Structure 1
Amino acid sequence: MQAQSHHRTPAAPHRARTRRGAFLAASATAVLALALAGCGSAASFSGHHHTHTDGAAHGTADPSAAAPSAGGHAGHDMAGHDAAGAGRAAAGNGLAAERGGYRLTATAGTAGTADTLPAGTPAEYRFTITGPDGKPVTAFAVDQTKRMHFYAIRTDLTGFQHLHPEMATDGTWTAPLAALAPGSWRLYASFTPDSGPGAGGGLVLSRTVTVAGEGAAASEVVPAATGTATVDGYTVAVEGALKAGSAGALKVTVSRDGAPVTDLQPYLDTYAHLTAFHAGDQAFAHLHPQGATTGGDGGPTLPFHAELPAAGDWRLFLQFQTGGTLHTAALTLRVA
């Protein structure tokens, strides 16, 4: 799958805290922590952590209801830390439309219906987040400079989009999707309520939509696991081996024409944004940044403290910014 770019006019278990603290102290580079949570950015292509389990996600009658990821982690929650170090709960693998009394409800956009969207043309996807009282939620906490992060991915993990929708006063969000290829898509809303019973707890909810048209049933094979990817003349290399459910280290290095890249610009309060989707079930994982940017340029090496809950292939989308341009590289990571 060919990476694309967009132009801007952008916690490990208790036993790992000591190790992570030492790692941070030893590194001059910002450390990123992997989590099952969400945050976002606008890109047409393009995943903190103490763990606890609260059981399966709340069921729904729609086809976007909870489904366990490979390895049976449907109800696996993670809690994380923002750049200031404050605790933030993260919930689930993103495969449910409802969780903890909060529900993602879609409405018809400028084209299509709540469950369908047109192919080959930009479309607006409108939705609300309703709370346990059944009313639309309008108070959301800011996470990495945004109150809502929205993702779209086709079933075969192609066509990734990462957006920041706008909310109307009645609680209706509008996500301006770029043209979608025919097929089945899953749309994810990542947010943190700022009031009510769920205040302060991060949630990732999703629904599926159908994009009709020729080739809707066609599916690309997820590219084989590899340690490198190229985009816009940049090469991204990922080093490290992960085992499902265990904390591990990943090191991302960005280069160009064989030379290290040291002019990574701050993007969403970090030097890189990383999102992951599990092949087969589209389980969502967000690799959340640990620590704010210094205000200057970053790179070329970005260390990650990582934990993915399920074995198999994960498609990673790494976003970074140079010269005011947002780049997104995609590669497949095999988790044992």
Structure 2
Amino acid sequence: MPASASAGQHEMPGTHGDAPSGDGLAASASGFRFAPAVSSLPPGQAASFRFQIQGADGKPVTAFEPDQTKLMHFYLIRSDLTGFQHIHPELATDGTWTAPVTPLQPGTYRAYTSFTTEDGAGKAVPLVLGEQITVAGTAATRPVPAGSTTTEVDGYTLTLSGGHPMATMEGELTVTVSKDGQPVTDLQPYLDTYAHLTAFHEGDLAFAHLHPKGTVNGDHGGPALSFAAMLPRSGNWRLFLQFQTAGVLHTAEVTVPVG
């Protein structure tokens, strides 16, 4: 905590340090491999998705470092950018992670693991690794919604500002939260920040995590949330913004075109 931070106030994660890097389109990087136990999941029913992170020797990794309070962030998204899930799996002593997945519709999905571990020299290695998963059945895919600067969820309106994002260029995205026309100022910390924002690229399903800026000070977040935005390629990105009020987690979705 910075010496200047007031009581109950601290920096949001992502304002310093190394966040997991990678676009999730590879299952292996830096000597580590995402190794799912299965390549498919059943349609329409809850399931336990098990996997390991394996080192260059093929042995499961058992030591991880926290990122936004969790040792592992696991994501699922369907090829049409629907069916988003963000799960925090449990780690067994043998290095097997178990993610409780809610029922999925048929289709082709990509699973992502976002984590930080150490290499043989003790250096932190932050990674995002991904693998394709299928769900049997006929997929009723949907077109990706057009780009917008507003979206709604559970009675909340989210408004995006920050100009037109350009690929590979660092920028700032601001999301303003309101309800019934009034600014929302009672956002609660979720994963040690006031909002968690992930993005997926239409077509290849590349993954990006937009890092929050600012400080956390109790249940007083909002109405404006700022993120360091660097999306690595042009095209449509589907953003999923998760925030919490009164103990309830909300997930808003919006499409952002990147030039």
TM superposition score normalised by structure 1:
0.71
Task: Provide the residue aligned with 1:150 in structure 2.
Answer: 74
Structure 1 window deviating more from structure 2 (278-287 vs 200-209): it is: 200-209
Residue 162 of structure 1 aligns with which residue?
86
Structure 1 residue 228 corresponds to structure 2 residue 158? no
Instruction: Summarize deviations over 1:90-131 as a string: whole Å, max 9, x none.
Output: 432110111111001111xxxxxx111100000111000001
User: Which aligned segments of 4 or more residues in structure 1 are displaced greater than 6 angstroms?
Assistant: 29-32
Aligned partner letter, 1:196: G
| Partner Cα separation in structure 2 for residue 313 and residue 170 of structure 1 | 40
Q: Distance in 2 between matches of 1:249 and 1:292?
A: 16
Q: Which moved more, 1:290-299 or 1:174-183?
A: 290-299
Find the aligned partners of 2:198 and 2:26 in 1 and give their Cα distance: 18
Q: Deviations over 1:60-113 (max 9, x none)?
A: xxxxxxxxxxxxxxxxxxxxx745x3x316432110111111001111xxxxxx
Q: Which residue of 2 aligns with 1:41?
A: none
Unaligned runs of 5+ in 1: 1-28, 33-80, 108-113
| Partner of residue 295 from structure 1, selected from 194, 213, 218 | 218
Residues 1:101 and 2:26 aligned together: no
- Greater CA drift, 144-153 or 232-241: 232-241
Q: Name the CA distance, whole Å, in 2 between partners of 1:220 and 1:198.
A: 45
Number of residue pairs the alignment of both structures matches = 250
Task: Percent identity, please.
Answer: 59
Matching of residue 281 in structure 1 with residue 211 in structure 2: no
The 1:246/1:31 distance shift into structure 2, 3 A limit, reads farther
Amino acid aligned to 1:123: A
1:318 and 2:231 are equivalent in the alignment? no
The one-letter code of the counterpart of 1:302 is L
CA distance in 1, matches of 2:213, 2:244: 18
Equivalent position of 2:6 in the other structure? none
Partners of 1:181 and 1:291 in 2: CA distance: 37
Q: C-alpha deviations, 1:192-232, integer Å up to 9, x for none?
A: 0045357412101111111012x32x321000001111100
Superposed, 1:11-22 pairs within 5 Å as none
Give the counterpart of 1:333 among 249, 256, 259. 256
Residue 239 of structure 1 deviates from its aligned partner by: 1.1
Report which of the two has the higher share of strand. Answer: 2
Cross-structure match for 1:261: 184
Contact 2:74–2:88 under 8 Å retained in 1: yes
Q: How does 1:121-270 map to 2 (within 5 A)?
A: 121-194=45-118, 196-197=120-121, 199-213=123-137, 215-216=138-139, 218-240=140-162, 241-270=164-193
In the alignment, the residues of structure 2 paired with residue 116 and residue 151 of structure 1 have an alpha-carbon distance, to the nearest angstrom, of 15
The one-letter code of the counterpart of 1:221 is: P
| SS of corresponding position for 1:310 | coil
CA distance in 2, matches of 1:176, 1:322: 23
For structure 1, which segment, 142-151 or 298-307, has the greater mean C-alpha deviation from structure 2 after superposition?
298-307
Amino acid in structure 1 at the alignment position of 2:200: F
1:23 aligns to what? none
How far is 1:303 from its partner? Answer: 1.9
Distance in 2 (CA, whole Å) between partners of 1:194 and 1:232 is: 40
Contact 2:110 2:133 in 1 (8 A): yes
Give 1:67-82 correspondences, 5 Å limit.
82=14
- The question of whether the paired residues in 2 share the 8 Å contact of 1:192 and 1:199 is answered with no
- What is the CA-CA distance between 1:322 and the residue it aligns to? 0.3
AA of the residue aligned to 1:142: P
1:133 shift after superposition: 2.2
Distance apart, 1:305 and its partner CA: 2.5
